[in-house]
Amino acid sequence: MGVPAFAITALARSRTARRVVMMLFAAVTLLAFFALAPLAIVPLALAGYSMAPTSAVATASLPAASGDWGYPLAGDYFKGRGYGYNPVNGCSYCSTDHEGYDMAQGCGSTIYAAGPGTVITAGEFYGWGNTVRVDHGGGLVSLYGHMQWESLRVSVGDPVTAGSPLGSEGNTGRSFGCHLHYEVQRDGIAIDPEPFMTALGLPLK
């Protein structure tokens, strides 16, 4: 019993022995990490988490763009009312003379700025409910209406570009179900968004 105890004491006092023990410990720790890492990554992958950088994931979901402008929604959407005379059956407060273009992906879908400019409205705005308006200069303004309350990601004075997230699709204001009311105004007067977007290389449905 005395010999092993003496040997252990001698090894503990040896600098070389301590280095060897530390190197062995480090090697075992690294081997254990590489052996167990797949066991942690596989469940995360099955749960829907990605190891890709956040910027790469966000870029993949941006709206299609043409030059400085893009769509206000990313991917496919359902078309609602277009510009002009469009009465809504069963909705007494809905205007018959529709001044925008309604598009929908579902409640909570992200709405993006269609072009570069400065935010001039971010909050409740008349019958559009929770609304963002962007001044693009030259008398041109785009409006994004009916967004969910507390979903806005911009404030008045913020600069935006095409693809900047503004908020989430909702059903606020004089709305008849979750959708985005996308409106384009020139010198304070609403214009038809369809030919406007088509001229930019971004045809609407």
pLDDT in tens, 35-78: 555 444 333 333 333 333 333 333 448 999 999 999 999 999 99
- Confidence at residue 93, expressed as pLDDT on a 0 to 100 scale: 73
pTM equals: 0.70
Average pLDDT over residues 168-174: 96
Instruction: DSSP for the chain, please give it.
Output: -HHHHHHHHHHHH-HHHHHHHHHHHHHHHHHHHHHHHHHHHHHHHHTT---S-HHHHHHHTSPPEETTEE-SSSS--EE---SEE---TT-TTS-SEE-SEEEES-TT-EEE-SSSEEEEEEEE-GGG-EEEEEEEETTEEEEEEEEPTT-----TT-EE-TT-EEEEBB--SS-SSSBEEEEEEETTEEE-HHHHHHHTT----
Q: Minimum mean pLDDT among 52-61, 111-120, 136-145, 173-182: which range?
A: 52-61
